[in-house]
Structure 1
């Protein structure tokens, strides 16, 4: 199979879809890998490292897309890339179709592209192995950027999360006790903040109470507990996920308006539409805005700011599936691997992930009905 790795073009997205070890795994198996020139520079990987393991360095993104049977990326294609998508092409990346430009889904369907979404590849135990590493990075970053936004010079109220003796510590409310919430809590506790985690799963709250040895407060999620904790917080982190679907709006605009001026919200779920009603996607160039006196940080590709950590963490998990698709072809790979099958969001002009179909108003066709109707790659 011919596999292409274009340079990411989203604002300040420095990650790359494949590292040299991933290239070697494919070229050693007889596959061809095309890497756009300088695709890995932002992650500290020069073209020479790709050439050393057998990649062909290609001068333009147009050529990479045109020649490749499968594209391996980090973030979803954005508008300038839509016309580059080839008919029937496999695209293996984060898509978050329910939370991004609806035109992307229309383009994928029109071109009968196979969208294999990192975020919906799901093991039988319900875990999301390709989402986990970036959720870990984003969760830890949420506290770092939140703490910076609380500084007066950045529009915040001027609170130090860890406080000092004789002065109260900063209050952090984390909505969602999954990977994002747990990693955010680790950093917040480490900085000395007063931390509350809210989740709907009581078993998860029991686990968190145990692992944090009582250093965080845990609350069962309901309207009242969310309202009270958000009103009192200096920093609110949104970390709620429903695989493939739009995030539920758990913090209303009215509630944000009740927060004290200079408070901060960081919505890690913004790439799925956000769980805080006032949040809209921002970029690393302009990461924040103020609404109702509250500083909002809503960058949809947070881990792109720390590419030397996040690229390698991500590609450690994406590599086995890209190798399987290349070796077996997409259809046979899906038949052989249920987790990978759950990652297929569009195929042959049909939406094959139920939550995406529901949120975007398309007819849902099961994966195996779709691949049964047409062979394909």
Structure 2
């Protein structure tokens, strides 16, 4: 199979779909690997590194999209990239379709076979291809929130950990999954006053046992959520419903109860965001203010630490890429129902139930297209 990767064109996105090491593995399996010139620059991987791994360097993305059987990316294809997709081609990348009707319509129209990292499952029900980026984003959320809290960036002027004689910042983490856990770890490490909200008693018990009193856990109901948000200096939105649009848990009315200059960091923004007032921002302009509350809603947070993120991502995406290339997408998905869960769009049909429900498409089960 001819497998290609392109330079990412989303704002301040420096990750790349294949590292030179991943390219070498694909070549060792007998596949042709084409890499757009400069694709790895953001992680410090030059064209010579890819060439040494056996990849072919091509001058532009158009060549990759026109000639490769499978395109491996990081972020969802942008409009110009979607225009180059074609029927019968495999697209293997993050998609986040539920809050993105335009992208979904373009993928359906193209006829491409689109496999989304974020809906591939693990044997334990986890999302292993999403997990490393959730770990990165959770940890970055505290860094970003701490910066946004600085007065020069529009925040309250509060230091997360406080100092002797001055109370630390109150950090509220909504959601106790991978993002929430990693955000809480970072916040606790900096000495903040941390509360984690979740609706799953098993998750609350696990977190409570892990933090041993260094962070509090609280069942997330309407009253408890409103009370915690009102008292917070920094709120981390870490809610995920796999494949579906994120629920709007923090309403605009709640902003009026918050301290002026408090900060909201919406890590769920890829799935539409879990704050009513959220809209996607970029690393170039990461924040905006609504009703005196600073919002940080960067949709590709891990792109800022591209080298760490790319290698962490390739560790989990490469094994499936090899299976798809070795067996073909149909055989690979038939052999692995967890990989099959990643199929979102195929030949003009929406094959993920949550995406179809949220965007009003007829749902065609994966089993039907296999």
Report the TM-score when normalising by structure 1.
0.97
Residue in structure 2 matched with residue 6 of structure 1 by the alignment? 6
Residue by residue, what CA displacement relative to the aligned partner does 1:216-249 show, whole Å, maximum 9, x if unpaired?
A: 1100010001000000000000000000000011
Q: Distance in 2 between matches of 1:131 and 1:306?
A: 16
CA RMSD of aligned residues (A): 0.7
Alignment partner, residue 77 of structure 2: 77
What is the SS of the residue equivalent to 2:303? helix
DSSP-derived class of the 1:255 partner: helix
SS of structure 2 residue aligned to 1:124: coil
Deviation at 1:124, TM superposition (A): 2.9
Task: Quote the residue 2:260 is aligned against.
Answer: 261
Which residue of 2 is the match for residue 99 of structure 1?
99
Does structure 1 residue 19 correspond to structure 2 residue 19?
yes
Structure-1 separation of matches of 2:98 and 2:198? 22
1:298 aligned partner: 297
> Which residue is 1:204 aligned to?
203
In structure 2, C-alpha distance between the alignment counterparts of 1:303 and 1:99, rounded to whole Å: 20
Q: 5+ residue gaps in structure 2?
A: none
CA–CA distance in structure 2, aligned partners of residues 208 and 6 of structure 1 = 39
Do structure 1's residue 52 and structure 2's residue 52 form an aligned pair? yes
Partner of 1:150: 149
Partner of 1:86: 86
2:39 alignment counterpart? 39
> After the TM superposition, which of the residue ranges 253-262 and 89-98 deviates more from structure 2?
253-262
TM-superposed deviation, 1:257: 2.5
Q: 1:194-230 CA deviation, whole Å, 9 max, x = no partner? A: 0000000011111101111111110001000100000
Q: Report which stretch shifted further, 77-86 or 207-216.
A: 77-86
Whether the 8 Å contact between 1:270 and 1:280 is mirrored in structure 2 is: yes
Instruction: Give 3-state SS (helix, strand or coil) of 1:197's partner.
Output: strand
SS at match of 1:92: strand
Question: Any idea what the Cα deviations from partners look like across 1:178-202, whole Å, max 9, x if unmatched?
Answer: 0000000010001000000000001
Inter-partner Cα distance in structure 2 for 1:96 and 1:7: 19
Any stretches of 5+ residues in structure 1 without a counterpart?
372-377
Q: Distance in 1 between matches of 2:129 and 2:358?
A: 22
Contact kept? 1:264, 1:294, Cα under 8 Å: yes
Q: Which aligned runs of 4 or more in structure 1 are off by greater than 6 angstroms?
A: none
Q: CA deviation at 1:103?
A: 1.8
Where 2:14 maps in the other structure, the secondary structure is coil
**Paired residues of 2:195 and 2:218 also in contact (CA < 8 A):** yes
Partner of 2:347: 348
Report the 3-state secondary structure (helix = DSSP H, G, I; strand = E; otherwise coil) of the residue aligned with 2:71.
strand
| 2-structure distance, mates of 1:279, 1:209 | 29
With normalisation by structure 2, the TM-score equals 0.99
- The size of the alignment, in residue pairs, is 370
- Secondary structure class of the residue paired with 2:216: strand
Q: Is the 8 A contact 2:87 2:347 kept in 1?
A: no
- Secondary structure of the 2:225 match is helix
